A = this chain, B = another copy of it.
Amino acid sequence: MSLWQSIADNLRAEIARGLWPPGTKLPAEAELAARFGVNRHTLRHATKVLADEGLLYSRRGAGVFVAASPVDYPLGDRVRFHRNIELAGKVPGRVLDAVMTRPSDAAEASALGLSTGDKVHVAEGVSMVDFRPVALFRTVFPADWLPGLPTALRERKSVTAALAACGIDDYRRISTRVSARIADATQAVKLQIDPGEPLLRTEAISESQGRPVEHGLTWWAAERVTLTLPHDAS
């Protein structure tokens, strides 16, 4: 094994043991290089490997930090935020910023199989894990089909429960698209991250009883959530 690999293995093991908790700043390069008895180039090679793995991240001018381990969030055919977070052993939560009913625009109508101008309910808010914000969402529902949904969304703590209160016992994903974005100032404030940090953006359509019931955009703080895919073998 090369020197940089054994340094990477050392640091990785120390992070795993909790010697460097998430958010900790690593000692300066010169100091770490001296500890391992290598030059800075070798040390940098080791920390780059750990950064590629997602264990470390650098902030320009500020140094190298230990990353928090993000929550795994499984994206399957039946994606339920509350259940997903509880399965990860954490506490799910949701803050509703707004629920409104208004005519759909062309994109919303197309996603929900409606005509432009047909009414939709729009729910916007923040999803929480262990009382910290992890994602912003804007979800759109067909209003004529689900007249009682705005009230149900305000009264129940999850979309699943609100839909159930409107007679939708089951719904499933028919489309999920994943992209990445940079957090703008508004998103950063709501997510309690820095502007310029990376977001995962998902766009999803779910259907029930053979028709689209929900079209959702979600912006996930990438440092807090990792999306995982279902595979038959796993």
Residues of A whose CB lies within 8 Å of any CB of B are 1-2, 5, 8-9, 12-13, 49, 52-54, 70, 72, 75, 77, 102-103, 105-107, 116-117, 138, 172-182, 196-201, 207, 217, 220, 222, 226-229, 231-234
State A214–B80 Cα separation when bound (angstroms): 31
State A29–B88 Cα separation when bound (angstroms): 45
Q: Is the pair B182, A197 in contact by a Cβ cutoff of 8 Å? A: yes
State A119–B145 Cα separation when bound (angstroms): 59
Instruction: Collect the chain B residues with CB atoms within 8 Å of residue A53's CB.
Output: 107, 217
Q: Is the pair B222, A174 in contact by a Cβ cutoff of 8 Å? A: no
Other-chain contact of A105, B8, B72, B200 (Cβ < 8 Å) = B8
- Within the oligomer, what is the number of copies of this chain? 2
CB distance from A174 to the nearest CB of B (A): 5
Other-chain contact of A181, B77, B107, B177, B222 (Cβ < 8 Å) = B222
Write 15 A-B pairs (CB below 8 A) sorted by A numbering: A8-B106, A49-B105, A77-B232, A172-B233, A173-B231, A174-B234, A175-B228, A178-B228, A180-B200, A180-B220, A180-B222, A181-B198, A181-B222, A182-B197, A200-B200
Instruction: Collect the chain B residues with CB atoms within 8 Å of residue A180's CB.
Output: 180-181, 198-200, 220, 222
